[in-house]
């Protein structure tokens, strides 16, 4: 299968569907990209020929820079609420997918991009001066509680606290040390290494794997955001607070000017 979509290209390799993010502006997440990814995840679940998913980036230097500063930062509350609920649908769809999901993180993976990567069953980062960061505190926002749970279960409560409260970036080797990722590889090998890991998981009995994955996420409380409107409203309240609004404007001006 091949898709020439301008923002997500696909190809199949040994039963694994590879979703290649190719959106201009560092694969920043906007409504179009989120909806495109939701559709691809749903199609991959239906297609019995697909044994797993692998996300990669075709944008040099970035896996994803997070929410689109030009578009998403300009949303009023109703539009942001609608967008964020669809983003929640995307990451819950990945957690519920009864097939393995991997990420070939070939560049910076920050903010909403880090949220997305935390939903992957395996993660491989490229060697080099790249960052994995949940840096919301630096522009006055908060990390949603469901993402915090994923982070805690990846690196432990103490390290998760340090990452969230400081917003500081984690380099690839440090990410491996703390369990945030599964491997570090040279840039040219990131996708092959991640593909190998996803393929190994896809070789497990599909029914047992899917059930085990769902039960783990249920037991760990990862599938609750869409059922808890208060958690979404809490995120939005801080997003539209005077503090965050001012810092987001400054960030947007710095990036766009």
For the segment 203-226, the average pLDDT, to the nearest whole number, is 90
Question: What pLDDT sits at residue 166?
Answer: 97
| CA quadruple 214, 100, 116, 8: dihedral sign | negative
pLDDT tens, 107-162? 999 999 999 999 999 999 999 999 999 999 999 999 998 899 999 999 999 999 99
Question: Six-digit token pair at 161?
Answer: 């606290």
pLDDT of 226 strictly over 90: no
Q: How far apart are CA 120 and CA 156, in angstroms?
A: 17
27: closest CA among 59, 60, 70, 55? 59
Q: How far apart are CA 234 and CA 225, in angstroms?
A: 11
For the chain, domain boundaries: 2-256
CA distances from 102 to 63, 235, 248, 253 (A): 13, 27, 31, 34
- Spell 161-188 as b/e; 16+ CB within 10 A means b: eebbeebebbbbeebbebebbbbbbeee
Supply the angle between the helices 229-239 and 77-96 in degrees, to the nearest 10. Answer: 130
Query: What architecture does CATH give domain 2-256?
Result: Alpha-Beta Complex (3.90)
Question: Six-digit token pair at 242?
Answer: 């005077």
> Confidence band (pLDDT; 50, 70, 90) for 6?
confident
pTM score, two decimals?
0.94
For the segment 4-19, the average pLDDT, to the nearest whole number, is 90
Residue 1 CB neighbours (<10 A): 11
pLDDT tens, 36-63? 999 999 999 999 999 999 999 999 999 9
For the segment 189-217, the average pLDDT, to the nearest whole number, is 97
3-state secondary structure the chain: CEECCCCEEEEEECCEEEEEECCCCCCCECHHHHHHHHHHHHHHHHCCCCCEEEEEECCCEEEECCECCCCHHHCCHHHHHHHHHHHHHHHHHHHHCCCCEEEEECEEEECHHHHHHCCCCEEEEECCCCCEECCHHHHCCCCCHHHHHHHHHHHCHHHHHHHHHHCCCECHHHHHHCCCCCEEECHHHHHHHHHHHHHHHHCCCHHHHHHHHHHHHHHCCCCCHHHCHHHHHHHHHHHCCHHHHHHHHHHHHHHHC
> Confidence band (pLDDT; 50, 70, 90) for 2?
very low
């Amino acid at each position: 299968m091949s898709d020439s979509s301008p923002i997500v290209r696909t190809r199949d390799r040994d039963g694994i569907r590879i979703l290649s993010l190719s959106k201009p502006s560092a694969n920043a997440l906007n409504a179009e990209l989120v909806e495109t990814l939701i559709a691809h995840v749903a199609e991959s679940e239906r297609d019995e020929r697909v044994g797993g998913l692998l996300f990669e980036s075709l944008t040099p230097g970035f896996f994803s820079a997070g929410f689109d500063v030009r578009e998403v930062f300009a949303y009023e509350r109703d539009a942001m609420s609608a967008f964020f609920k669809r983003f929640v649908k995307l990451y819950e769809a990945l957690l519920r997918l009864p097939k393995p999901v991997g990420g070939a993180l070939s560049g910076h993976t920050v903010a909403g991009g880090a949220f997305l990567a935390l939903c992957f069953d395996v993660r491989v980062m490229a060697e080099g001066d790249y960052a994995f960061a949940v840096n919301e505190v630096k522009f006055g926002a908060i990390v949603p509680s469901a993402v915090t749970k994923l982070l805690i279960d990846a690196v432990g409560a103490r390290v998760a606290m340090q990452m969230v409260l400081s917003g500081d970036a984690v380099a690839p080797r440090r990410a491996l040390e703390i369990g945030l990722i599964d491997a570090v590889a040279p840039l040219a090998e990131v996708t092959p290494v991640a593909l190998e890991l996803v393929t190994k998981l896809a070789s497990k009995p599909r029914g047992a794997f899917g059930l085990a994955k769902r039960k783990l996420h249920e037991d760990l409380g990862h599938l609750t955001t869409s059922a808890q409107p208060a958690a979404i409203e809490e995120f939005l309240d801080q997003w539209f607070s005077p503090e965050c609004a001012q810092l987001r404007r400054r960030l947007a001006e710095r990036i766009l000017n």
